[in-house]
Structures are given as C-alpha cells and as structure tokens.
C-alpha cells in the first residue's frame, strides 16, 4: 500500500507540538511560524505538580499540557479539529490508514521511547511527543517529526507501539486533523487575547502554577540535602527543563520570538523590548541548569540554597515581566 501526500512539506522545529501545529496549519493555508503557534495558543506556563510523578519525582512543566497548542489553533483560525482515541491498537492503525488514503496529513501523540529513528541515548518514557504522518509506503509510515531535520520512516509495528504506550500521559492512539479552516490570517486582536491569557496563567492565584509555582519549587529545593535523593531531584529538574520538549529556557526563547512577530502585527512597539527581556529570562534558566549540572557532576559544591535562590530570582524576573506585558496589551 503506497499513499503519499506530495504537497506536504516537512519543517524542522524546536518543539514537537508547536512544530506540528505550525506545519499543519501552514499545510492548510495558514502560513505561521512555530513561535506564532506557541504564543497564539497561550502555551507558555510553569507548573510544579508534586502529586503527579515522573520516575518518582514531581512533574515540573514549563508549558501548558499536551494538546493545548493544537487546540489553541481553533479560535484564531476558525478551525475545527477532530481528535480520536482508540481502545484497540488495530483499530487505531486502520483508522490512520483510512485517513492517509483520503490524502490527509495526520497528527499523532506518541512515546519517544518506542520511535526507532531516535538515537538510543535520546529515548525515554515520555508519552506526549507529537508528530505528523503524511504517507505510507509498504509497511513504513512516512513521518514528519518536527525535532528531526529530515522526514523519517517508521515501521508499522514500531509506530503502533509508540502510539499505544502506557504510563503517564498515555496517548491511547490519539490522532487528530483539522476538519475546517475559517481563516488563514492572524488578527491583531487574537494576539492581544492570547497574551492576556498567558498573563493570567503566569500571575494567577493558584499556588502551583505560574510564578507562584516557581516559588514553591524554590522552597522545596532549599530543603534538599547533599544525598542521593537531593542529587536525583536536581537532576530531574534539569531534565524536565532542558530535555523534555524544549524546556524552560527554550520555551522562553520561543515566546520572545512570538513577541517580536506580535509587535509587527499589532503595532505595539513595547513588545520588542519585552521580547529582549524574555530572552534574558531564558538565559537565566540556562544559567540555573548549567549551575545545577556542575553541582551534580561534582565540579562545584552541592548548594541547594544557592539553587533555590536562583529559582526565586527567576520567579521575580518573570513576575515583573508579565506585569509589564499585561500593561502593554491592556
């Protein structure tokens, strides 16, 4: 069985879901960058969730949950997405084949661990990796994975395993695609609404979310000791920040790019200055990650108080940033 969408063009991106969203929307005529997809969906966030465990440690997220970016494309473009999950793997694979036969480009949620084109040292049990399927040749699916520079091929058995992996954020064979597209142009008011929503998320009253969540994590780090648990806890923070998705710094750089584009569309010039400030905040997250890694590897003395202080500093910088961003789009 050979089914290939010849009009589809693969695009390399920094992050899987924002990359999938921008590629999918562009394929359907709404030509947008990855940064615009990320910002327009109000995906920037922070969450410290001690009751949700990954490898025994709390979930620490620097963006909104899976599917948030894809769903965020609906209102700005008058788009209706169809999402489908499956109880039986065979049903999910047959449905994918049906859609490919119709010429559709299909988004999938998968587990990184079971995708064979990832190098072994980059595979881990993360079940919210998004990619696009644009065709099938024989038993191989043609994959547009945004985090790879070139399109990939994946055997049916491997893709099925990746789609139906179990555990936290189990994909359950999720596939999605746009059914309708009402507009192909980003409107200035859509950008303002998206920015206001991000501000509410980051400055909101929920203790675990946004700036408050950063402060709670800082408090936890301050109580760590120089033992195996403490080292592993800090290592987990760095992994969540730098390896899963694009992490804390990467998402901040992506949002800075969005603000630069937003300034062009809305004419709000102060957004350019705020974009530079957000880049500086991203640099701060990178500095935290570097300091933490040096401590873990024994190149510097393990100092939870210092790391906690760096996290509190990041929280204060982001609090000030989002207050100014709120004023800019008021």
CA gap 232, 48 in Å, rounded: 16
Same domain assignment for residues 155 and 273: no
Domain range for 194 is: 188-328
- If residue 44 lies in a helix (H) or strand (E), which one and from where to where? strand 44-54
Query: What residues have CB less than 8 Å from 228, skipping those under 6 apart?
Result: none
pTM above 0.85, yes or no: yes
Same domain, 298 and 242: yes
Q: What is the tens place of the pLDDT at every residue in 200-226? A: 999 999 999 999 999 999 999 999 999
Residue 239 lies in a domain: yes
In a domain, 73, yes or no: no
- In whole angstroms, give the CA distance from residue 24 to residue 296: 40
* pLDDT given at position 43: 95
Looking up residue 114, the CATH number of its domain turns out to be 3.90.70
pLDDT in tens, 132-172: 999 999 999 999 999 999 999 999 999 999 999 998 889 99
Please name which of 135, 112, 6 lies closest in space to residue 66, comparing C-alpha atoms: 112
Query: How many degrees, rounded to 5, is the angle at CA 252 between CA 246 and CA 255?
Result: 105
pLDDT single digits (tens) 86-107: 999 999 999 999 999 999 999 9
| CA 264, chain centre distance (Å) | 24
Q: Where are the alpha helices (DSSP H) in 121-269?
A: 156-163, 188-203, 210-222, 228-242, 247-266
Going by pLDDT thresholds of 50, 70 and 90, the confidence category of residue 185 is very high
Q: Which of residues 180, 206, 224 is at a domain's end?
A: 180
Cα distances from 71 to residues 44, 60, 212, 322, in angstroms, run 14, 22, 26, 23
- Structural domains in the chain (count): 2
> How far apart are the two ends of the chain, measured CA to CA in Å?
55
For the residues 26-38, what does the mean pLDDT come to? 96
In the prediction, which pLDDT does 243 show? 63
- Cβ–Cβ < 8 Å for 53, 233: no
Residues facing residue 155 across a β-bridge: 140
pLDDT at 20 over 90: yes
Residue 66 falls inside a structural domain: no
Domain boundary among 154, 180, 206: 180
What's residue 120's pLDDT? 84
- Examine the domain organization and report whether 160 and 203 are in the same domain: no
Tokens of 144: 């547009």
Q: How many CB atoms lie within 10 A of CB 45?
A: 19
Whether 72 is in a domain gets the answer no
Q: What is the CA radius of gyration of the chain?
A: 20
Tell me the DSSP string of 172-211: TT-EEEEEE----S--HHHHHHHHHHHHHHHH-S-TTBHH
């Amino acid at each position: 069985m050979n089914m290939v969408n010849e009009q589809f063009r693969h695009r390399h991106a920094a992050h899987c879901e924002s990359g999938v969203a921008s590629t999918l929307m562009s394929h359907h005529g709404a030509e947008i960058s990855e940064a615009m997809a990320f910002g327009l969906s109000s995906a920037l966030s922070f969450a410290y969730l001690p009751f949700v465990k990954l490898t025994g440690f709390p979930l620490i997220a620097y963006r909104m949950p899976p599917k948030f970016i894809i769903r965020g494309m609906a209102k700005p473009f008058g788009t209706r997405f169809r999402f489908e999950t499956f109880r039986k793997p065979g049903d999910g694979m047959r449905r994918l084949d049906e859609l490919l036969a119709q010429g559709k480009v299909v988004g999938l949620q998968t587990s990184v661990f079971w995708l064979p084109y990832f190098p072994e040292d980059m595979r881990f049990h993360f079940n919210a990796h998004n990619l696009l399927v644009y065709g099938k040749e024989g038993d191989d699916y043609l994959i547009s994975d945004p985090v790879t520079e070139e399109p990939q091929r994946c055997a049916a058995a491997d893709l099925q395993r990746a789609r139906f992996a179990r555990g936290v954020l189990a994909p359950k064979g999720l596939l999605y695609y746009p059914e309708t597209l009402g507009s192909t142009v980003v409107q200035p008011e859509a950008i303002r609404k998206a920015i206001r929503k991000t501000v509410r998320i980051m400055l909101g009253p929920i203790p675990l979310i946004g700036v408050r969540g950063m402060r709670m994590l800082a408090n936890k780090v301050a109580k760590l000791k120089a033992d195996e648990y403490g080292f592993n806890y800090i290592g987990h923070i760095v992994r969540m920040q730098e390896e899963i998705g694009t992490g804390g710094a990467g998402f901040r750089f992506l949002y800075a790019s969005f603000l630069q584009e937003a300034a062009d569309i809305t004419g709000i010039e102060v957004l350019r200055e705020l974009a530079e400030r957000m880049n500086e905040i991203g640099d701060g997250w990178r500095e935290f990650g570097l300091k933490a890694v040096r401590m873990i590897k024994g190149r510097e003395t393990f100092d939870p108080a210092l790391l906690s202080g760096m996290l509190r500093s990041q929280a204060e910088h982001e609090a000030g940033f989002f207050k100014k961003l709120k004023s800019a789009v008021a």
